[in-house]
Amino acid sequence: MSSLNDVEKRYFERLLGMQSGYVLDYSDPTFGEFFKRHRVDIHSPKYQTYGTSKAKKMRAFWEQEPDTLVGAVLGEMLQAYEADCTLNGRNIEAPILEKAQNIVARLSGASRPSKMVSQTVDDFLHNEFVIPNIRKLPIEAMAVPVIESRLNEARTAMGAGAYLSTIFLCGSVLEAVLLGAAQNEPARFNRAAASPKSADGNVKRLYDWNLAQFIDVACEVGLLKPDVKKFSHGLRDFRNYIHPYQQMLSGFTPDEHTAKVCFQVLKAALASVAGERL
């Protein structure tokens, strides 16, 4: 069992919104997928000691599993909490988050608290992401040459200083790859809580989804990491400059730094979808 005490649990209860029986914005399927990455079947009877809500299963998990596993799960959930606040325009409860991060460090056996602050654009740019073999992506084989061609063209555009073109190409590749992944597992995408619905309540056809919706659902089903989701929305915003009036209204002209961020986002997303980001 973990060494979490009652006071420490209160911090996580607050940050994860567990008072209502939920845990962040996880649905039952995405909660299961999240824990599956940690080799835990959270929906099994083992974790239904106190009931079947996600919060009650989480409490049982805290009591039954060792510190290292609980620390790994809570550490990732804190990152999801930060991303959720950023994407939804909510303030991060920094003092509580810091205390929770210290607890995660203790559970994980770290000699000092891990640096788990919100990632800035510059932090993200300094990460090393490698574009995976495109043939490893869960997309149709017919789409592979098109994706490779657009990636090469994006590199050429970057080198030529055509930064707006670079952003457009990065956005088109990301949308194509996420659409391909959705077509490969339509049931998984359609079951997601974030899947877009039509007026009659049914999930829209995949071809009617926009890039923002693909990003949100891909993160919910575990294909994109929360940091990639966060910065992918930035790429999507810049990609909207394909409409001249959108750029005119913003009064912003993308430069080399903007293009590098967008290309970095694309590399991270491709690695994530290919299963090469741990």
Q: Which tens digit of pLDDT belongs to each residue from 105-164?
A: 999 886 444 444 445 555 665 666 778 889 889 888 999 999 999 999 999 999 999 999
pLDDT at 126: 63
- Measured CA to CA, the distance from residue 41 to residue 183 in angstroms comes to 26
Residue whose tokens read 């999507």: 236
Global model pTM greater than 0.85: no
Asked if 131 and 277 touch (Cβ cutoff 8 Å), the reply is no
Round to whole Å and give the CA distance between 139 and 142.
Answer: 8
Distances (CA, A) of 179 to 61, 81, 133, 140, 141: 35, 26, 18, 10, 14
Note whether 69 and 109 are within 8 A (CB).
no
Q: Which two tokens stand for residue 157?
A: 């555009």
Residue showing tokens 């932090």? 123
Q: Identity (one letter) of the amino acid at 122?
A: D
Digit-by-digit pLDDT tens for the chain (278 residues) are: 889 999 999 999 999 999 989 998 888 888 998 898 788 999 999 999 999 999 999 999 999 999 999 999 998 888 888 776 755 567 888 889 989 999 999 998 864 444 444 455 556 656 667 788 898 898 889 999 999 999 999 999 999 999 999 999 999 999 999 999 999 999 999 999 889 898 888 999 999 998 888 998 999 999 998 878 877 877 877 777 787 876 776 676 788 888 888 898 899 899 889 887 65
